[in-house]
C-alpha cells in the first residue's frame, strides 16, 4: 500500500476532469513565467530564435494521463487488497475500494479546499456499466438462468414494482408527518426517489456473492434479479421523471406509461437478439482472420447497448440478450486462443470498470452539497429493508406453489438481505432536475449505499455460514454427469409429450431441435460442426476446464497419488473419443412412440411361451402349440439379428393340428420327457382337466420384425 502515496500526491495536485468528470473552473492569477503559461497549463510564447532543451506540455496529455493514473490507482488498491493477509476473508473487496476512494477524496479536498471530481451519469452508463453487464451476460449459466427465468422475472418485475410503490408511498407519509422540513416534497418526487433507491446493483451483488460460493440456484436468483431489476428501475425512473415534467398526470398518462414499460423491455430484447445473431454470423467467416474474431464480440455487444439507448429501450436487457444469444455460436466458430482472449479481456475490462466505480463512489462522497434530515434518512433505511423483506416473502410464497424445487426460508433470507445498492442509484440521483430537496436525496442515497455495502456486505458471509446455506459444488461436472443430465432432460420431455403437457422440458426440446436443424447450420461453419452430441459435450467441458475460471474451482482428483497423464496419452484419448463417439450417429436405431406403434400381420410369427416349472414335466403333446408354427418360429428366430421393442400378445387357436413326423417336440424343449405317453396314463383325471383348460387359454408372444417386409 505504500506505493499508493506518490500517486495520491500527484492526483491531489493535477487531478481535473476525466471520464466526463466536472470541476469548477478556477481563474489563475499572476504573471506568466518564462516559457510556461500558468493560465492554461501550456507553453507560452517562445522567444524568437530560442531553442529549448526541455519543455512541458501537460495540457496536451492531461485527459489520458489522468485516466491512466485513476486506473493505476484502482488496480494497485485491488492488488493490495488481495495481498493483505486475512482482510479478504473478513471485508469484501467493494468495501476496501470505497475506503480507498474516501481516502483519495479526503486528500484532494484537504489540498485543494474544494470538492473532488464526481462521476457523471453519462460516464457511468455509457463507459463503465456496459463491460460489467457484458461479462455477466456472456458467462451467464444458461441452463440455470432459463430454468429459473420465471422466478427471476417474478422477483425483478413485480418485486421492483412492490418496492418502488411501497417505498414511495411510505416516504410521502413520512413527509406529511414532518411538514416543517419535508413538506415541500411531492408524491411524484417520493415515487421518483423510490424508483432509484430500489435499484439493486449487480456490481455490488457480484462482488459479494462470488466470494461466498453459495449454491447455483441461490446465486442465479439473486444475480438474475439484480440484473433485470436495473432495467425495470431505469424505465420506472424515466417514467416518473416524465410525469414530473407534465403539468398534470391523468389516467391515460398512467396507461401509456405502463405500455411504455413493456415496449422498452421488449425493444431491448429484440435489439439484443438481432445483434447477437449478426455477431454469430460474422464469426462464421473469421477462420482466415482469427486475430480480429474477439473484436466482433465487443463491438456488436456495445453497439446493441448504444442502439437501445438511442431508441430509449433498455440497454441492459439488450446487451445481456446479445451476449447470451451469440455465445454458443461464437465459441464454436472461433479458435481456442480466441476464446481465451475473449474470456480474459472481458474479465479484465469488467474488473477495471468495477474497481473504478467503487473508488469514485468513495471519492464522490466527499462533497459540500450534503443536506441532513434524521426522519427522512432513517425512514429510508428502514423502509428499504422492510419492503424488500416483505416482498420476497410474499412473492416466494406464491412462486413456491409452481416450482418443483421450492425456495427455502434460508434462501429467502439471503435474497432479502442481499439487496445491495451501488452506483446505479448513485448515478440516477444526480440526474434529478434541480429542486430544493435534491441535496437531501443525494445524501440519503449515499447513506443507503454505504450501509448496504459495509453493514450488509460484511455480515452476509457470516450469516451464510451461520444459517448453513448450501454451498456451490466444488468440482466441474464430468462427461458422465452431463450425459445423464441430458438423458433425464430427454426422458422428462418425452413424458411431457406423452401426457400432453407443455412444460419447460417440452419447449427446451423443441428449441434444441430448431437450433440443430436451422440455427447451427446457418450460424456455424461446416468445419466446426460437431458430428456427435456427446463429442460436443466433451468439447464444451474441455473448454470449460481450460478456462480455469475463478467462479468454477478445479475438479477434485479422486486419486491424489496418481501419475499425471503425459501429453501423448492425452492426445491419444482425444483421438479415441473423436473417432469412437461419432459412431453413435451411424447406427440407425429405430425409435418408437405412441404414434408409430403398428402391427403388421405379414411380419408376425408365433413364439411359444415358456411354461412354468411345475408344468414342464407334466405336459404332453396335446398341450403344445401347433408344431408347424413352432418350426417356422425356430427357423425365423435363428436368422433374426435383433428383436423389436414392441411386443403384442395373441391367444393361440383352440384347434389342435397333428404335428408332422419330422418335428420332434423334445428338440424344441429339451426339458420335455422323450416318451410323455406313460406319464399321461399315470395321471389322474383331476390333473388332466387343468391341462386341457390351459391348452384352450394358452397365450403366445408375437414379435414384430424391425426390417419391414
pLDDT in tens, 202-221: 877 877 777 777 888 888 99
Domain containing 520: what range?
Answer: 486-527
Number of domain units in the chain: 2
Q: Do 427 and 513 lie in a common domain? A: no
pLDDT in tens, 487-522: 888 888 888 888 888 878 888 888 888 988 899 889
What integer pLDDT is reported at residue 548 of this predicted model?
52
What integer pLDDT is reported at residue 622 of this predicted model?
42
Q: Has this prediction a pTM greater than 0.75?
A: no
Q: Do 383 and 522 lie in a common domain? A: no
CA-to-CA dists, residue 626 to 408, 449, 600, 652, angstroms: 65, 89, 21, 9
CA pair distance 20, 23, nearest whole angstrom: 10
What integer pLDDT is reported at residue 580 of this predicted model?
65
- Residue 403 in domain: yes
pLDDT in tens, 293-342: 999 999 999 999 999 999 999 999 999 999 999 998 998 899 888 988 99
- Residue 568 in domain: no
Overall average pLDDT of the 96-120 stretch: 85
Let me know how long the chain is.
709
- Residue 57 in domain: no
Q: Are 194 and 419 in contact (CB under 8 A)?
A: no
pLDDT in tens, 336-377: 889 889 989 999 999 899 888 888 888 888 877 788 899 999
pLDDT category at 134 given cuts 50, 70, 90 is: very high
CA pair distance 326, 319, nearest whole angstrom: 11
Least Cα distance to 76 among 103, 112, 54 occurs for 103
C-alpha cell at 628: 408347424
pLDDT category at 593 given cuts 50, 70, 90 is: very low
When comparing pLDDT for 216 and 380, which is higher? 380
- Beta strand segments in 270-347, E: none
pLDDT category at 194 given cuts 50, 70, 90 is: very high
- Residue 304 in domain: yes
Last residue of a domain, one of 527, 558, 578: 527
User: φ, ψ for residue 483 (rounded to 5)?
Assistant: -65, -45
Helix (H, G, I), strand (E, B) or coil at 42: strand
C-alpha cell at 409: 426460508
Q: Do 276 and 401 lie in a common domain? A: yes
142-151, 575-584, 660-669: segment of lowest average pLDDT: 660-669
- In DSSP notation, 372-388 reads --HHHHHHHHHHHHHHH
When comparing pLDDT for 648 and 443, which is higher? 443
Q: How many secondary structure helices (H) and strands (E) does the chain include?
A: 32, 3
Last residue of a domain, one of 434, 467, 500: 467
How many CA atoms lie within 13 Å of 551's alpha carbon, on the beta-carbon side? 18
Q: Do 273 and 137 lie in a common domain? A: yes
CATH code at 321?
Answer: 1.20.1530
CA pair distance 507, 529, nearest whole angstrom: 23
Q: Do 414 and 330 lie in a common domain? A: yes
Least Cα distance to 158 among 442, 341, 403, 391 occurs for 391
Q: Do 425 and 516 lie in a common domain? A: no
C-alpha cell at 580: 469412437
31-35, 349-353, 464-468: segment of lowest average pLDDT: 31-35
pLDDT in tens, 271-300: 999 999 999 999 999 988 888 999 999 999
The rounded mean pLDDT for the chain is 75
C-alpha cell at 273: 437478439
pLDDT category at 546 given cuts 50, 70, 90 is: low
449 membership: H or E segment, kind and range = helix 438-450
- Residue 240 in domain: yes
Q: Do 382 and 523 lie in a common domain? A: no
- Residue 649 in domain: no
Q: Do 403 and 274 lie in a common domain? A: yes
Q: Do 421 and 515 lie in a common domain? A: no
50-64, 293-307, 656-670: segment of lowest average pLDDT: 656-670
When comparing pLDDT for 440 and 14, which is higher? 440
C-alpha cell at 277: 445473431
Place of cell 407443455: 502
CA pair distance 414, 459, nearest whole angstrom: 11
Overall average pLDDT of the 474-495 stretch: 77
When comparing pLDDT for 275 and 638, which is higher? 275
CA pair distance 83, 87, nearest whole angstrom: 9
User: φ, ψ for residue 37 (rounded to 5)?
Assistant: -95, 115
- Residue 537 in domain: no
Q: Do 217 and 279 lie in a common domain? A: yes
What integer pLDDT is reported at residue 540 of this predicted model?
67
Q: Do 381 and 508 lie in a common domain? A: no
What integer pLDDT is reported at residue 695 of this predicted model?
43
What integer pLDDT is reported at residue 562 of this predicted model?
53
Q: Do 125 and 246 lie in a common domain? A: yes
pLDDT category at 571 given cuts 50, 70, 90 is: confident
- Residue 667 in domain: no
Amino acid at each position: 500500500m505504500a506505493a499508493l502515496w506518490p500517486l495520491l500526491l500527484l492526483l491531489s495536485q493535477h487531478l481535473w476532469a476525466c471520464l466526463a468528470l466536472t470541476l469548477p473552473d478556477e481563474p489563475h492569477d499572476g504573471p506568466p513565467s518564462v516559457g510556461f503559461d500558468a493560465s492554461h497549463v501550456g507553453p507560452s510564447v517562445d522567444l524568437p530564435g530560442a531553442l529549448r532543451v526541455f519543455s512541458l506540455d501537460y495540457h496536451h496529455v492531461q485527459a489520458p494521463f489522468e485516466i491512466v493514473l485513476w486506473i493505476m490507482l484502482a488496480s494497485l488498491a485491488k492488488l493490495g487488497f488481495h495481498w493483505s493477509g486475512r482482510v479478504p476473508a473478513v471485508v469484501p473487496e467493494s468495501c476496501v475500494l470505497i475506503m480507498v476512494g474516501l481516502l483519495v477524496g479526503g486528500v484532494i479536498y484537504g489540498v485543494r479546499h474544494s470538492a473532488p471530481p464526481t462521476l457523471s451519469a453519462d460516464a457511468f452508463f455509457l463507459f463503465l456499466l456496459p463491460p460489467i453487464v457484458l461479462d455477466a451476460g456472456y458467462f451467464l449459466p444458461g441452463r440455470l438462468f432459463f430454468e429459473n427465468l420465471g422466478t427471476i422475472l417474478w422477483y425483478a418485475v413485480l418485486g421492483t414494482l412492490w418496492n418502488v410503490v411501497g417505498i414511495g408511498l411510505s416516504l410521502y407519509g413520512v413527509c406529511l408527518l414532518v411538514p416543517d422540513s419535508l413538506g415541500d416534497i411531492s408524491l411524484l418526487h417520493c415515487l421518483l426517489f423510490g424508483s432509484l433507491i430500489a435499484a439493486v446493483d449487480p456490481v455490488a451483488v457480484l462482488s459479494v456473492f462470488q466470494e461466498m460460493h453459495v449454491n447455483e440456484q441461490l446465486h442465479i436468483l439473486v444475480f438474475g434479479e439484480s440484473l433485470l431489476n436495473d432495467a425495470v428501475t431505469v424505465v420506472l425512473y424515466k417514467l416518473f421523471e416524465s410525469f414530473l415534467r407534465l403539468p398534470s398526470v391523468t389516467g391515460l398518462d398512467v396507461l401509456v406509461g405502463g405500455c411504455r414499460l413493456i415496449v422498452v423491455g421488449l425493444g431491448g430484447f429484440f435489439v439484443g437478439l438481432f445483434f447477437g445473431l449478426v455477431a454469430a454470423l460474422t464469426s462464421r467467416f473469421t477462420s482466415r482472420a482469427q486475430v480480429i474474431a474477439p473484436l466482433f464480440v465487443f463491438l456488436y455487444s456495445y453497439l446493441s447497448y448504444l442502439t437501445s439507448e438511442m431508441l430509449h429501450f433498455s440497454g441492459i436487457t439488450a446487451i445481456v440478450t446479445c451476449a447470451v444469444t451469440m455465445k454458443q455460436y461464437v465459441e464454436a466458430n472461433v479458435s481456442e486462443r480466441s476464446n481465451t482472449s475473449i474470456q480474459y479481456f472481458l474479465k479484465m475490462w469488467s474488473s477495471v470498470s468495477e474497481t473504478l466505480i467503487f473508488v469514485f463512489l468513495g471519492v464522490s462522497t466527499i462533497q459540500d452539497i450534503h443536506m441532513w434530515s434524521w426522519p427522512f434518512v432513517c425512514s429510508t433505511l428502514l423502509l428499504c429493508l422492510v419492503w424488500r423483506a416483505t416482498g420476497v416473502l410474499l412473492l416466494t410464497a406464491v412462486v413456491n406453489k409452481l416450482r418443483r424445487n421450492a425456495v427455502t426460508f434460508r434462501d429467502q433470507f439471503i435474497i432479502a438481505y442481499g439487496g445491495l445498492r451501488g452506483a446505479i442509484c448513485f448515478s440516477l440521483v444526480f440526474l434529478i432536475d434541480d429542486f430544493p430537496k435534491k441535496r437531501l436525496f443525494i445524501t440519503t442515497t449515499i447513506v443507503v449505499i454505504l450501509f448496504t455495502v459495509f453493514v450488509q456486505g460484511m455480515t452476509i458471509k457470516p450469516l451464510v455460514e451461520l444459517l448453513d446455506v448450501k454451498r456451490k459444488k466444488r468440482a466441474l461436472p464430468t462427461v458422465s454427469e452431463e450425459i445423464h443430465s441430458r438423458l433425464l432432460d430427454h426422458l422428462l420431455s418425452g413424458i411431457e409429450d406423452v401426457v400432453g403437457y407443455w412444460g419447460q422440458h417440452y419447449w427446451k426440446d423443441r428449441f434444441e431441435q430448431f437450433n440443430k436443424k436451422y440455427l447451427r447450420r446457418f450460424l456455424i461453419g461446416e468445419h466446426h460442426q460437431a458430428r456427435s452430441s456427446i463429442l460436443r459435450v466433451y468439447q464444451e467441458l474441455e473448454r470449460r476446464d481450460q478456462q480455469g475460471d475463478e467462479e468454477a474451482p478445479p475438479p477434485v482428483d479422486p486419486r491424489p497419488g496418481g501419475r499425471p497423464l503425459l501429453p501423448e496419452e492425452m492426445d491419444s484419448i482425444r483421438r479415441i473419443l473423436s473417432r469412437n463417439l461419432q459412431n453413435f450417429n451411424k447406427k440407425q436405431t429405430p425409435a418408437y412412440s405412441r404414434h408409430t406403434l403398428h402391427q403388421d400381420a405379414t411380419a408376425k410369427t408365433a413364439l411359444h411361451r415358456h411354461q412354468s416349472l411345475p408344468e414342464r414335466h407334466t405336459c404332453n403333446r396335446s398341450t403344445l402349440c401347433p408344431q408347424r408354427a413352432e418350426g417356422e418360429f425356430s427357423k425365423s428366430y435363428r436368422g433374426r439379428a435383433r428383436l423389436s421393442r414392441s411386443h403384442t400378445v395373441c391367444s393361440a387357436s383352440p384347434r389342435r393340428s397333428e404335428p408332422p413326423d419330422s418335428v420332434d417336440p423334445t428338440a424344441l424343449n429339451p426339458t420335455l420327457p422323450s416318451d410323455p405317453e406313460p406319464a399321461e396314463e399315470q395321471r389322474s383325471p383331476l390333473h388332466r382337466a387343468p391341462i386341457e383348460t390351459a391348452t384352450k387359454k394358452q397365450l403366445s408372444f408375437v414379435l414384430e420384425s424391425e426390417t419391414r417386409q
